Amino acid sequence: MTLHLYNTASRQKEEFVPSDPKRVGMYVCGPTVYDTAHIGNARPAVVFDVLARLLRHIYGKEHVIYVRNITDVEDKIIEAAAENGETIAELTARTTKAYHDDMGALGVDLPDREPKATEHIDGMINMARTLIEKGHAYEAEGHVLFDVQSMPNYGGLSQRNRDEMIEGARVEVAPYKKDPADFVLWKPSPGDMMGWESPWGKGRPGWHIECSVMSKAELGEVFDIHGGGRDLIFPHHENEVAQSCCANDTETYARYWVHNGFLTVDGKKMSKSLGNFFTVRDLLGLSTKLEKCAGEIYRFVLLNTDYRQPLNWTEDGVQNAENSLNTLYTALQKLEGVDADLSQTADRIVEHLENDIDTPFALKELIAIAKQANVAEGDDEKARLKGQLVHGGYLLGILQQSVDDWFKGGASDELDADGIEALIQERIEARQNKDFARSDEIRDSLKEQGIILEDGPDGTTWKRG
């Protein structure tokens, strides 16, 4: 099977054929670093992390360039810094680190390249100047605006009519605009506001032009895949297409557009006013597991719904994810001592992922492999299945913890591993002394604290339930 992706531009699933299989490029819109990431922000990070892993599997790690930017100049950043009483540099450094830490806890690898908007201001000024020279933009009262009427097929990506575009863009209908739909490429920065000198005075870039310039700098004028959330299709991605094609004199900007669906909480839009707004950091802190183990649970939830469909975040979904991961880690626990045959690939999992990143079925396939491993006989069969679990787990970004960490790693438990082992030893001595009441008391007490004891021929083992 070959990789197929749903292309937003064509509104259909297409076979993915890179322009150069030795240089497969993917650009994904990254965070605007003014606050910590909420769980909805994490969905595209996880989805495109899986796609990057799949592309590396198909084409080779050295032939894939995954770019995810950092937006570190934007009005929300300016406002947040002023409100927090910190400099913009302090705010963006702090929130960028928090983003890396939080996504890392979810098993999201760093991209191959991570350009920052502030590193490409000259390129943004040059693109705005080029658009003016080519008749696609104009200066008005210190602003540079893209002239949407100059591009006949503007709106092709989002497939919206004119009224929908104006309403959806929520643009300022300013008197200096030739058309209400015209959007900002450069805007003035009065006083001591963050800004750079330009041919149009001190100012700062509009949001859309940032990604056009960074993607061109890292991947060229035309590249393979552009990703992001559905909320970015219009106006952000539509405007990227317009300014990039017009500035570069190309018919195409990104050849495949891939967008993930929205996230709700218990069927409702996330909102601080509704009390259902969760940052990744909130969720990690609420878990009783080690942060990296809790991160795998949340990653599983994010992958257990088709990426293009709305994802409804619920407590039941989180618990089901933990149960599924318990099944997977139990299989690895039974295979301890078996050397994984790393020549084995989880072909069925690859096939599901090649079918438009079908992670829910890939997860089901991984669990099926685990169940086969539980009843496998013979070292070769166990080694084969363990190899498939390792490979499938890597592609999905799960099963990345040790069995001991998964079953014994609590985040905030009062009873640590040494304390549990001491009680187990006391229980063994009680049983040897036929003090079964004390033995049962220890077992029941541990159970109440979420510690499950399992007696076997090789002694007593424990895990957190």
- Confidence (pLDDT) at 412: 45
Which of 220, 213, 222, 190 lies closest to 203, judged by CA?
Answer: 190
Q: Are both 215 and 155 inside the same structural domain?
A: yes
Q: What angle do CA 27, 30, 33 make, to 5 degrees?
A: 155
Q: Are both 116 and 98 inside the same structural domain?
A: yes
Give CA–CA dist 261/238, Å, rounded: 17
CATH of the domain at 29: 3.40.50.620
The DSSP bridge partners found for residue 187 are: 204
Confidence band (pLDDT; 50, 70, 90) for 168?
low
Q: Are both 331 and 370 inside the same structural domain?
A: yes
Q: Are both 373 and 436 inside the same structural domain?
A: no
Q: Are both 292 and 322 inside the same structural domain?
A: yes
434 or 29, which is more confident: 29
Q: Are both 350 and 455 inside the same structural domain?
A: no
Q: Are both 296 and 384 inside the same structural domain?
A: yes
Is the predicted pLDDT of residue 373 greater than 70, yes or no? yes
Q: Are 55 and 5 in contact (CB under 8 A)?
A: no
Domain end call among 260, 285, 302? 260
User: Which of 19-23, 92-96, 422-426 is predicted least confidently?
Assistant: 422-426
Q: Are 268 and 276 in contact (CB under 8 A)?
A: yes
Split into its structural domains, the chain has a count of 3
Tokens of 434: 């036929």
Which of 114, 126, 92 lies closest to 213, judged by CA?
Answer: 126
Q: Are both 36 and 84 inside the same structural domain?
A: yes
The DSSP bridge partners found for residue 227 are: 28, 258
CATH of the domain at 399: 1.10.730
What b/e readout covers 419-430, taking b as 16+ CB neighbours within 10 angstroms? ebeebbeebeeb
Tokens 């989180």 found at: 318
User: Which of 239-253, 283-297, 307-321, 357-371 is predicted least confidently?
Assistant: 283-297
Confidence band (pLDDT; 50, 70, 90) for 457?
confident
Domain end call among 244, 260, 276? 260
Is the predicted pLDDT of residue 145 greater than 80, yes or no? yes
347 or 169, which is more confident: 347
The DSSP bridge partners found for residue 257 are: 226
458 or 15, which is more confident: 15
Radius of gyration of the chain (CA): 26
Q: Are both 124 and 192 inside the same structural domain?
A: yes
Q: Are both 218 and 326 inside the same structural domain?
A: no
460 contacts: CB under 8 Å, gap ≥ 6: 424, 427, 428, 453, 454
DSSP secondary structure string for all residues of 374-428: HT--SHHHHHHHHHHHHHHHHHHT-S-S-HHHHHH-BSS-SS-HHHHHHHHHHHH
123 or 445, which is more confident: 123
Q: Are both 8 and 49 inside the same structural domain?
A: yes
Residue 377, domain extent: 264-407
Q: Are both 109 and 210 inside the same structural domain?
A: yes
Confidence band (pLDDT; 50, 70, 90) for 422?
confident
Give CA–CA dist 127/229, Å, rounded: 25
Domain end call among 238, 260, 282? 260
Q: What angle do CA 122, 125, 126 make, to 5 degrees?
A: 85
Which of 418, 422, 412 lies closest to 449, judged by CA?
Answer: 412
Average pLDDT over residues 389-418: 83
Average pLDDT over residues 59-73: 98
pLDDT digits (tens, 9 = 90+) for 258-289: 999 999 999 998 888 888 899 999 999 888 88
